[in-house]
Amino acid sequence: MTACVGTMSRMEPPQQTSLMQEKELMERRMLEEIKRRRDAGQDSWALDDFEIGRPLGRGKFGRVYLAREKSTKYPVALKMIFKNELVKHKMEQQLIREIEIQSHLKHENVLQMLTYFVDDRRVFLVLEYASKGELFRELNAQKHGRFEEPKCAKYIYQVASALQACHDCQVIHRDIKPENILISARGNIKIADFGWSVHDSSQTKKRKTMCGTLDYLAPEMVKNVEHTHLVDNWCVGILCYELLVGKPPFESKSSHETYQRILRAHIDFPPYVGTLARDLITKLLQVKPENRLSLKEVKVHPFIVKHWPLKSVDEAPKPAN
């Protein structure tokens, strides 16, 4: 599986650093406890292993709570899913696939699934807790409902890094949007919600299932033709536009009009969107998938390098000897 390198961060106040060190210690203890149970053949968890806190969110099939594992005191997000709702909507296999995919992905910008367990009525997913919540909420909290370029560049770099790790493991996310991206205590991206994800045995294998969110659908999905991991690259372009403007580029009053605008891929930029950002978005929002920037190219694009040099410099091509 794709491994990740620790995030390079700027200096933090001593108190904040201490809190982070305490959290990292609890995380190590939690991971050690998971490993201990597995090694002992006791990889069975129950609701009694957790102290349940406040609700974090509610979805179609269940709810998410802030919880704390009792022995390690480690805070987690506990996602509770009702089995009868899964059966009613014929989503059992989709949940199995989500668990299989997310539990094996290991990257600093992918929300970690620590473990899972079941009882008679429910399935519980034990997830990493991203304390700052959804990117969508942070975006809406901005003064003008949009981010300045430096923060956008940081977030797009991290999303591209996470998706590159997914693609390296032959996983296509297929539903990137601000609602499915969380923010950690350190202010870093954690892509989440792998419900529409799929695992392909090769990057060239094509899928035909239409899924995802309307405003983020790639043209090949709108046309209901085969698609590859490059649908995620399209989503990065849509996301970059939304983070800078406050809404997706092809948003319309009707689904039909949105479909038509996606297929034309004509992008109207407000005057405050800079030249470098326009270039990045335009090169991602190409109707032909093969013409889209790769995620590696996204990470070294001049827009990213200008605003997020701490990381992008590590991705730049090394000069020949």
Q: Binding site for ATP: which residues?
A: 60, 79, 83, 128-130, 179-180, 193
Q: Which helix or strand (DSSP H or E) is residue 89 part of?
A: none
Annotated binding residues: 60, 79, 83, 128-130, 179-180, 193
Q: How far is Cα 266 from Cα 189, in angstroms, rounded to an integer?
A: 29
Residues in the chain: 321
Strands 171-172 and 181-183: unpaired
Q: How is the chain split among helix, strand and coil, in percent rounded to 5?
A: 45, 15, 40
Q: How far is Cα 81 from Cα 47, in angstroms, rounded to an integer?
A: 13
Residue 136 is encoded by which pair of tokens? Answer: 């969508």
Helices 149-168 and 230-245: angle between axes, nearest 10 degrees: 170
Let me know: does 239 contact 214? Beta carbons within 8 Å.
Answer: no
Helices 149-168 and 275-284: angle between axes, nearest 10 degrees: 30
Residue with tokens 């367990």, as numbered in its chain? 117
Cα distance from N-terminal residue to C-terminal residue, the chain: 31
Q: How far is Cα 59 from Cα 83, in angstroms, rounded to an integer?
A: 14
Residue with tokens 């995802």, as numbered in its chain? 212
Comparing C-alpha atoms, which of 168, 166, 153, 162 is closest to residue 182? 162
Active site residues: 175
Q: How far is Cα 276 from Cα 279, in angstroms, rounded to an integer?
A: 5
Let me know: does 208 contact 218? Beta carbons within 8 Å.
Answer: no
Let me know: does 153 contact 243? Beta carbons within 8 Å.
Answer: no
Helices 230-245 and 275-284: angle between axes, nearest 10 degrees: 150
